Each structure stands twice: as structure tokens, then as C-alpha cells.
Chains A and B, each alone.
Chain A
């Protein structure tokens, strides 16, 4: 399991946050504190408000009630879901990373100093030699790392990742997870959403179970328990111990026939 690096002060704090998009509330009375150096995973079923919570913490979605406090001058970065990227957009890896430094008056072209910084970030993430490749011509793991590099290039102190491992194979998922662990150990605060309880969430030092409300928050030992998972996902789940890790499995008693009987 990934260990928690030394957490010190709050960087973002959400208190009693309620969000709606003009209809049913997507988040109700959500409390979440993000402290310096944390690595947090937000899990929950589809439509539970995971991505909305990320946007609330980022400050791009207005809240209907409650308040969100961010440390003044906090630099944040967002790694979007790869499904939302227009892969035919004509940009190379270097341009994709370089465009992120866009605030204030900048030269249209990437300066020599910026190019050196971009290469340093790409080297740090194992993408050396790919700066002039089109973003479409990379593997899934490399694409994910390019967008991480873009967030790092902005000197972000907190990085948010929306479903960073969706659509990736097991090996690439491990690579991404280890990379995030390395970055966290170097002091970066990371908040991510994931559907993958066993592949990702169980390895994280802190998990937040969300289903419109926060059902549970804490280390996997406290959160990955049948009661919390059932209240989060709305279906019974079993938790097994395997090699010191928690493994979540669907209830063997809950088959397709049971669903049919329940709905009848």
C-alpha cells in the first residue's frame, strides 16, 4: 500500500457543500479537507458526484450552500478524463504541455527556457524523446503522463485527476499508480476519482466514499468494509484479505436472478 507522506496544513477545505445544476442536488452537505501532501481517492458509483466534487474543490462549479476555502495563491492542476480529449487536435506533446502556462502576457511561442523546463518535466515522467510527437501517437499510459506533465508544468501544488486509469490495462494502471506515488512522496498533493476499488483505491492512504453525500472517509481499513460499501454502491459487497490488502468482491449471494426477484 502507498504510505502517506507527512500531512501538515489544510490546503482546501469544503464544509457542508451542496451543489445542484438547477435540478436535483448532485452533492449534499459534503465535508472534505485536503491537507498538504495527501493522496486521496474518491470512489462511488456513476452519478454519485465524484467529478462534481473535484470541480468544487477546483473552484470551477458554484456551490448552492456551504463554503469552500482554498489557501490563498494555491496553484492547482487538473488531469482530465482521456475520453474527453480531442485526440485529432493538432498539438504535439511539447505544445500540449507548454500551453498550460497561459496566464498573463506570454509570447505565442514556447521560449527556450520554457522548452528546457518542458523537457525536464517530460524526463521526470519518463517521456523523454517524445516532445515532438503528436499526442495521438502515444500509448494510453504515455497520454496520461502527458497531461500529468502539463499539470506539473504549471507548478501546481495540488493535482486533481478525473478517472486517471479508466481504459488502461493492468500494467499501465500500475505504472500510473506508481508514478502518482512517486510524485506524492516528492510532496505533491493529489486528489483523484476512480471506479477501481481493488486496483487503485485499496492502495491509497485515504479514501472518500461518495454517493451524493460522504458515506465514509479514512484509510482503506476503515472505509473498505461491507457496511460502508453497501451504503455507497447500494448493493452488498464482500471484503477479503489478500496479502495484507483489502479486496472487494461482489456478493456471491447477489446474482442476476436475485436482482430479477428483487425488482419483481
Chain B
């Protein structure tokens, strides 16, 4: 009882409650937005955009407007500029991100060096301060999360189609320019809202890492029905006879190897025979088993 009381004691403090709420929402928000960022091969944009916003922060301080609004507007303009260059120019998204964001960051650093920091501690923007979160920060991130949910909920198919095949989506009548623009605005709003909490470096990690892990764990954009996954998994697990070409039993040492499915992220698991999947099965929870078997079933 003592331990439980100690565990919940920090929740008596408002700064801690705010920190927990904001950290949870920031993780979810970055995870959702990051999926589309990674699928568009724009993984570097989170990192770049969070640096670019630093330029807006410095410029806003210099001309005497609200730092937050200035940095936000700057972020949106930067994101739209990146999106525009990627659509119109024959250079890759990585190059466009590199050019636009580093230029903006360099401008911000130069202005801070020349005229000094415009108010807040610049280190806090770069590295974040989850315990210094205010009530306004909580509302901002709640508002951006609701905006993200509405955009992805109502525009899911347009977003998916544009991300998968922009040219065909455009030919079919989807307003791809609008979809791209809105995603860039959402991305910059996400970076802006989470900057105080995580700082620029963690934002980049939070945008990319969950999406990459998710992509390694599933071959589907949405999960297949649980019953079907189970059946496919069990069939797969009746090992030697029905193993797919990518999943082999080596006769020499009777070990079992399975290529992890995705192109570009192929890690190979070697496990001793008898089949790891069957041995581990009783030890895993139902949820773990489903996820694991779904992954393995896609090996074929």
C-alpha cells in the first residue's frame, strides 16, 4: 500500500499531471503523423522542421511578435515550401528537406548570435522541458491531436491514396496538392506543439521510430481480422511441411531461421530446433501470439 501511495504521490502536483498528459498525447500524435512521414520517405523532415522552427523563433523575437505564433507560422511556411519543392522540382524529398531546414536553422542561429536570445531559454526549445509544461501547452497539444484525428479520420483514404500513388490519385480526382499541404501543416503543428515537451531532437525520434517499428511488425496498413490471423499463424506453425521459402529449417544443426519480412530491414533470427514458434507459444500472451504470428505468416 505504501508503494502504491508513493507511486501516485507525484500526481498530486499539477506540473506532473500536465507532464504526463502532454507526454502521452505527444507520443500518440507523433506516432500517427510519423506513419505518413515514414511512408513518404520523409523521415528526416521531423528533425529538419524542428530545427527550422528555431529560425522562426529568432525572427519573431527580432521583430517583436509572439514567439509561439512566429515560430508556428515559420514552421508552416517551411513545411509547405518543402512540400512544394518536392512536388515541382526533380530533386528528392531528402534534398529539399536538407536545403530548406538547414538554411532556416542557420538563419535562426545567426540572429540569436547577433541580437541575443529573444526571451525564453533557447536550450529549452532545443532540448524540451516536460516538467515546465503549462496549462496552455496542454490545451495546444489537445487541439492539435483533435485536428490530427479529424484530418486522418475524414481524409484517411485520400491520404492513403496520395501517399501510396500520388499520380494515380491525382488522375482519379483526389486533390493531392491540398492533401499534401494539409499533412505538412499538421506536421508543423505537431512539431510546434511538442517542442516545449520533447525538444527538437526527441521530436525527430518520436516521429520516425514508432512508425519504423510498426512497419517492421506488420505488412498491412490495417490489421487483418483476428480469426484469420490466428488460422494463418497456426498453419504456418505446423513447421517443416508448410514452411515458406523464406523460412527454412537447416538440416545440419536443426536450427530454424526466418527472414524478417521487409525489404531493407531484413534481420534474420536463428533459433534452436524444435520450432521456436511452437515452443514459445504457450509462454506468450494471446495478444503477443497474434502479433507474432501475423508477422511470421507474412513471411510467405
Binding site for B on A (CB under 8 A): 55, 58-60, 76-78, 80, 84-92, 95-96, 98-103, 105-106, 108-109, 132, 134, 136-137, 150, 154, 160
Q: Which residues of B contact A100 (CB under 8 A)?
A: 161, 168, 172
**B39, B167, B215, most chain A CB atoms within 10 A:** B167
| Residue among B39, B152, B161, B300 making CB contact with A99, cutoff 8 Å | B161
Kindly state the separation between the CA atoms of A13 and B39 in the bound complex, as whole angstroms.
37
**Which chain A residue has the least Cβ–Cβ distance from B35?**
A90
**A85, A106, A108, A136, most chain B CB atoms within 10 A:** A108
Q: At the interface, yes or no: B243 with Cβ under 8 Å from chain A?
A: no
**What secondary structure prevails in chain A residues at the interface with B?**
loop
A102 near B164 (CB under 8 angstroms)? no
Question: Could you show 25 A-B contacts with beta carbons less than 8 Å apart?
Answer: A60-B171, A77-B171, A77-B172, A84-B165, A84-B167, A87-B263, A88-B263, A89-B164, A90-B215, A91-B221, A92-B221, A95-B220, A95-B221, A98-B157, A99-B164, A100-B161, A102-B160, A102-B161, A102-B174, A103-B173, A108-B156, A108-B157, A134-B220, A134-B298, A160-B171
Report the minimum CB–CB distance from A157 to chain B (whole Å): 13
Q: A58-B171, A78-B171 are in contact. Are A101 and B165 (CB under 8 A)?
A: no
**B152, B154, B168, B169, most chain A CB atoms within 10 A:** B168
Q: A102-B172, A103-B174, A154-B172 are in contact. Are A91 and B164 (CB under 8 A)?
A: yes
Q: How many residues of B contact A (CB 8 A)?
A: 32
Q: Which residues of B contact A77 (CB under 8 A)?
A: 171-172
Kindly state the separation between the CA atoms of A212 and B160 in the bound complex, as whole angstroms.
35
Kindly state the separation between the CA atoms of A109 and B224 in the bound complex, as whole angstroms.
12
B172 near A132 (CB under 8 angstroms)? no
Kindly state the separation between the CA atoms of A98 and B222 in the bound complex, as whole angstroms.
12
A108 near B153 (CB under 8 angstroms)? yes
| A-contact 0/1 string along B222-261, CB 8 Å cutoff | 1010001000000000000000000000000000000000
Q: Which residues of A contact B158 (CB under 8 A)?
A: 102-103
B156 near A76 (CB under 8 angstroms)? no
A106 near B221 (CB under 8 angstroms)? no
Report the minimum CB–CB distance from B252 to chain A (whole Å): 29
Report the minimum CB–CB distance from A192 to chain B (whole Å): 14
Q: Which residues of B contact A137 (CB under 8 A)?
A: 298, 300
Q: At the interface, yes or no: B286 with Cβ under 8 Å from chain A?
A: no
A80 near B215 (CB under 8 angstroms)? no
Kindly state the separation between the CA atoms of A108 and B221 in the bound complex, as whole angstroms.
12
Kindly state the separation between the CA atoms of A100 and B161 in the bound complex, as whole angstroms.
7
Kindly state the separation between the CA atoms of A43 and B215 in the bound complex, as whole angstroms.
39
Kindly state the separation between the CA atoms of A98 and B152 in the bound complex, as whole angstroms.
16
| A-contact 0/1 string along B32-48, CB 8 Å cutoff | 00000001000000000
Q: At the interface, yes or no: B28 with Cβ under 8 Å from chain A?
A: no
The 5 closest A-B pairs by CB, nearest first: A108-B156, A102-B157, A78-B171, A99-B161, A58-B171
Q: At the interface, yes or no: B87 with Cβ under 8 Å from chain A?
A: no
| A-contact 0/1 string along B208-223, CB 8 Å cutoff | 0000000100111110
Q: At the interface, yes or no: B262 with Cβ under 8 Å from chain A?
A: yes
Report the minimum CB–CB distance from B10 to chain A (whole Å): 37
Q: Which residues of B contact A150 (CB under 8 A)?
A: 168
Q: At the interface, yes or no: B119 with Cβ under 8 Å from chain A?
A: no
Kindly state the separation between the CA atoms of A152 and B170 in the bound complex, as whole angstroms.
16
Q: Which residues of A contact B154 (CB under 8 A)?
A: 105, 108
**Which chain A residue has the least Cβ–Cβ distance from B173?**
A103
Q: Which residues of A contact B171 (CB under 8 A)?
A: 55, 58-60, 76-78, 160
Q: Which residues of A contact B169 (CB under 8 A)?
A: 102
Q: Which residues of A contact B157 (CB under 8 A)?
A: 98-99, 101-102, 106, 108
A78 near B262 (CB under 8 angstroms)? no
Kindly state the separation between the CA atoms of A85 and B168 in the bound complex, as whole angstroms.
11
Q: Which residues of B contact A160 (CB under 8 A)?
A: 171
Q: At the interface, yes or no: B282 with Cβ under 8 Å from chain A?
A: no
Kindly state the separation between the CA atoms of A44 and B174 in the bound complex, as whole angstroms.
30
A95 near B167 (CB under 8 angstroms)? no
**Which chain A residue has the least Cβ–Cβ distance from B228?**
A132
A78 near B263 (CB under 8 angstroms)? no
Q: At the interface, yes or no: B264 with Cβ under 8 Å from chain A?
A: yes
